[in-house]
Chain A
Amino acid sequence: MNAFADQVLLLARRSVVRTVRQPANVFAPLLFPLLLLAVNSGGLKAETRLPGFPTSSFVAFALAIPFIQGALFATMNAGTDLARDIQTGFLNRLSLTPMRGIAVLAGQLGGVAAMGLVQALVYLSVGLAVGVRPASGALGVLVLLAFALLVTLGFGALGAFAALKTGSGEAVQGLFPVFFVFLFISSMNIPRDLISATWFRDLATANPVSYLIECVRSLIITGWDGQALALGFGIAAAITVVSLALASWALKVRMAR
């Protein structure tokens, strides 16, 4: 293994170890989305009787939400951990080694992606346990996991950018409610074509988070929907590319040495 890969792997391992040693960072991203899924599935079940609703199982419809919420938690974890490294001077310690700066970002995001994958597997397992059967089959599950990984990486890089730019854990945590607003003004709880309030439907249509949710949803309840997949993967890839570019730039400025 070359030195760079070795460094990335070690830093990713450190990121995972740190997360595991903070139980709140493990359980909150697992429990909170599943709790919300349970509440919504109970309270909004009647929605499935609406004409044109795409499935008779609200759990199958709503199972897409935890995947995106989990990625939002990844944003916060990646960002706050990195901000803590800046505040404690640990980033300076890393900067004083011959390590390439980008290994810090790659390692941190590698750890976040690994945790994101574990979260996705848990959400999926819970879905399967309550009777959801992804319409796209086993291959669809693999695509779903790959998509969850991409979204986690994209949001994680945004969190890392915020941390590197501000150096403050509080600033990163301040992003969380903003992202949640995006989640709530999306097609999270109802298909966009069934939203009766025009202004809300327009907002949901303009909101990129809607397409991320609809991509996951298509794999679970529709099967292979090329448009939903293209939009979902396209937007997730765009978010990832832009946020990685921003995070790399902020890292370069932060580690100007």
Chain B
Amino acid sequence: MIGYTIQAEGLVRVFKKGPRAVDGIDLAVATGEIYGFLGPNGAGKSTTVHMLTTLLPPTAGTARVAGYDVLHQGPQVRAAIGAALQEAALDPLLTGREHLRLQASLHALPRAERKPRADELLRRVGLAEAADRKVRGYSGGMKRRLDLALALVHRPRVLFLDEPTTGLDVQSRTALWEEVGRLAREDNVTVFLTTQYLEEADALADRVGIIDHGRIVAEGTPTELKQQVGRPTVEAVPTDPDERERAAAILARFGEPCASSDGVAVRLRSGEADLANIVRTLDAEELKVEHLQLHQPSLDDVFLAKTGRSLEGAADEDEQERASRGLAMEPA
């Protein structure tokens, strides 16, 4: 029997003069799972996190985290969770070490344990050398890493990460992914991660929920989701541009034509197993190609299929829509 650490049913949050930021979502995240919550800006990801972490009461619906009701058992929920919210909420005038010791104390860690725990986390997130510097001198990546360390001080069973890698360089992003993966694998921590980066959800999450306009429009493992939207495509660019029609005719034997910017492409009828046959056929027909590539469906394709919009464009559209309606996001 699967144990669910995060469960939500019909979760709703309505803001004053605003839309239903979260519009009846159901969630079931298993213990030790990394759940990626993917969606554009303004889709309702952060509002959901705020409700699950007890920072915002739901307008309707119920949610349990670590077995506790978020509305009625707030202190128990807060004791069980760690959270790194969208903005690294740090005091620029305190040092990294002071932040950790304050956090350890507020979580009522035994006195003798506070210093070693702070030292251990500072080492783990690579901030041991900068530990006694004021946070205002930290880079964005360092702040994010300290934020993660603070969320882990009391060894939480559930970790909420709200867009943890936004604005980070590739190196910092990779380091953070590794640490999050390790936490789930080795410490059995349940991770609820919101992101607007497809590759982040793809690389990290065991399961992904795609949210748009406050509703979950698709959910499953990244592979399942991609399979739902269809088969891979193959794109070929003939060496001789005059051979495009012949290349298209050959590829058409393996699937339905689809759009290609440089050459010709088909959506494979029998999946990626056809790739070898395509290569053999092109060779047999003596058609030279300078480029042949298999494209697996991406999560963006999934988002496109479920919402009719591309994930990257959706954020801009939502921003424009909110601006044009002059919506204020105040609690109702």
Contact = CB atoms under 8 A, between A and B. Distances in A.
B150 to A, nearest CB: 7
A88 B74 CA distance: 23
Interface in B73-94: 74-75, 78-79, 81, 83, 85, 87, 89-94
Contact of A96 (B83, B94, B105, B331): B83
B142 to A, nearest CB: 16
A96 B55 contact: yes
Interface in A1-19: 3, 6-7, 10-11, 14, 17-18
A18 B103 contact: no
Contact of A7 (B90, B91, B105): B105
Give chain A's interface secondary structure class: helix
A17 B94 CA distance: 8
A18 B54 CA distance: 28
B279 interface: no
Interface string A76-105: 000000000100111011111111000000
Contacts of B102: 10-11, 14
Contacts of A6: 105, 108
A192 to B, nearest CB: 42
B57 A257 contact: yes
Nearest to A95: B55
A3 B87 CA distance: 28
A24 to B, nearest CB: 12
B93 A18 contact: yes
B98 interface: yes
A90 to B, nearest CB: 5
B106 interface: yes
B78 A90 contact: no
B47 interface: no
A256 interface: yes
Contacts of B75: 98
Contacts, number: 69
A22 B94 CA distance: 11
B191 to A, nearest CB: 16
Task: Indicate the size class of the contact surface on chain A.
Answer: 20 to 34
A256 B91 contact: no
Contact of A90 (B56, B74, B89, B134): B89
B107 A14 contact: no
A21 interface: yes
Interface in B280-327: none
B53 interface: yes
B325 to A, nearest CB: 23
Contacts of B79: 98
Contact of B85 (A10, A89, A97): A89
A21 B331 CA distance: 35
A11 B91 CA distance: 12
Contacts of A18: 91, 93-94
A93 B89 contact: yes
Contacts of A7: 105-106
A221 B56 CA distance: 54
B37 to A, nearest CB: 18
B107 A97 contact: yes
A97 B78 contact: yes
A21, A85, A96 — most chain B CB neighbours (10 Å): A96
A94 to B, nearest CB: 7
Contacts of B108: 3, 6, 98
A3 B93 CA distance: 25
A99 B92 CA distance: 21
19 contacts: A6-B105, A14-B91, A14-B98, A18-B91, A18-B93, A88-B89, A88-B92, A89-B89, A90-B90, A90-B91, A93-B89, A93-B103, A96-B53, A98-B75, A98-B106, A98-B108, A256-B57, A257-B54, A257-B57
Interface of B: 53-57, 74-75, 78-79, 81, 83, 85, 87, 89-94, 98, 102-103, 105-108, 134, 150, 331
Given A10-B102, A88-B89, 14 more contacts: A3-B108, A10-B105, A10-B106, A14-B91, A14-B94, A17-B93, A21-B93, A89-B85, A89-B89, A92-B85, A96-B83, A97-B106, A98-B107, A98-B108
